[in-house]
Chains A and B, each alone.
Chain A
């Protein structure tokens, strides 16, 4: 078995504001990330898959299929979007990068077996919000 990791980029805006907390509490908790009109990041996302080598290609994953799946399920939904306003999941959850990474895994798992019926399997997704912080979610952590 071998693990292949592909890196993608997208830019999006968000605002961290927990509906269950008051305005003062939100400001205290999230600081500048709570600024009312939101702000943006250049996100970097790594998608890791694991599988055996295919003898015909000498590879573990068809990158064209992977790129297509990631583009359709994740990049098109997030790229140049306001995550709070334009991604359904973030109407009810705070678009922290923890939740964003979980949402990316959820989206990839949805149609994974249609695109890769015989493997490889999705192992994990890691998203860096800036070059100084990154969040990693294993596929098995998400239903």
Chain B
């Protein structure tokens, strides 16, 4: 069984590769390369996999899941400039792809055993663009 919980955070970022020239960055990232950054209201959907406990009827306590998402992701990301304030984005370009991978890496240690195992991370950068990551194996 899969269970999905949603949280939101707002953050700014800039997409630039320091190994490229100004022109190359412009060509590759367009307005997302503007040096002072810009922001998004990100929506994060985290899906866990498991079977319901026969006593409680729950896969996991959703309050616990909510606390993990808030502690590991929202507190770190919300109202931050990702490139300047949230490692690894001082050296990794904060594309939605890399954000999904980083969130997976942050959550995986807390959702790796017991009844709720991390299944997938979906990051909406806007309503019209989202990324799914299911771990390295997928």
Contacts and interface: CB of A to CB of B under 8 A. Distances in A.
A7 B30 contact: no
A26 B125 CA distance: 43
Interface residues of B, number: 24
Contact of A6 (B100, B128, B133): B128
A63 interface: yes
A2 interface: yes
Given A56-B17, A56-B20, A57-B28, A2 B129 contact: no
A68 interface: no
Given A58-B17, A58-B92, A53 B98 contact: yes
A59 B28 CA distance: 10
Interface in A7-32: 7-8
Nearest to A1: B138
A50 to B, nearest CB: 9
B95 to A, nearest CB: 4
Contacts of A8: 128
A60 interface: yes
Contact of B132 (A5, A6, A56): A5
Contacts of A53: 97-98, 101
Interface of B: 15, 17, 19-20, 28-30, 92-98, 100-101, 127-133, 138
